[in-house]
Amino acid sequence: MKISDVLRAENAVVDLAAASKSRLLQLLSERAAKALGTDGRKILAALSNREKLGSTGIGYGVAIPHAPLGEIAMPFGLAARLARPIAFESIDEVPVDIVVLLLTPARDRTAHLNVLAAISRRLRQPDVLTIARAAADAARFHRAIVGEDTAADAGSGLGEKSLVAGATGPRSLR
């Protein structure tokens, strides 16, 4: 299964405003519920329960909140680039500005782990994060996340930047 099978273009958003981790999870749950035709409260509860086990902030300004959900038949993803980085209790304590929500069928733990691993591997690549942070719109952001983008498509003038968000602005890497 490819990331693009789980994360469709219409489920990518840029400049999402969320002042806190809890507000972000609420906004993502509402968006996912609308896309899936299910109850956002169930999604939020599943994500909140998962976060109680430990933060899903994987470092470098990236979080992958994820949870199994009994109401769905196929894995579902939603990607967001935040308007401003927020505290997320990440492993490296760096504020998060790129988030990929992952929901998978409760009965299929193998799919959950495989998709989570693929997204995590992708979002640990410095060039992917640079392109995603520089993307001019949601379509380009989506292509960067799923692996269908190039540095030329993200725009020019990226310059030399490192991996972590927030050094010289919300789209730069520190």
- Catalytic center residues: 66
Nearest alpha carbon to residue 62 among 83, 32, 82: 82
Sign of CA dihedral 149, 125, 108, 50: negative
In this structure, what token pair is assigned to residue 109? Answer: 């733990």
Q: Which amino acid is present at 13?
A: V
Note the helical H segments in the chain. Answer: 3-6, 21-36, 40-53, 109-122, 126-134, 138-146, 151-154
Neighbours of 79 (CB within 10 A): 29
User: What whole-number distance in Å separates Cα of residue 37 and Cα of residue 31?
Assistant: 10
Nearest alpha carbon to residue 41 among 33, 51, 52: 33
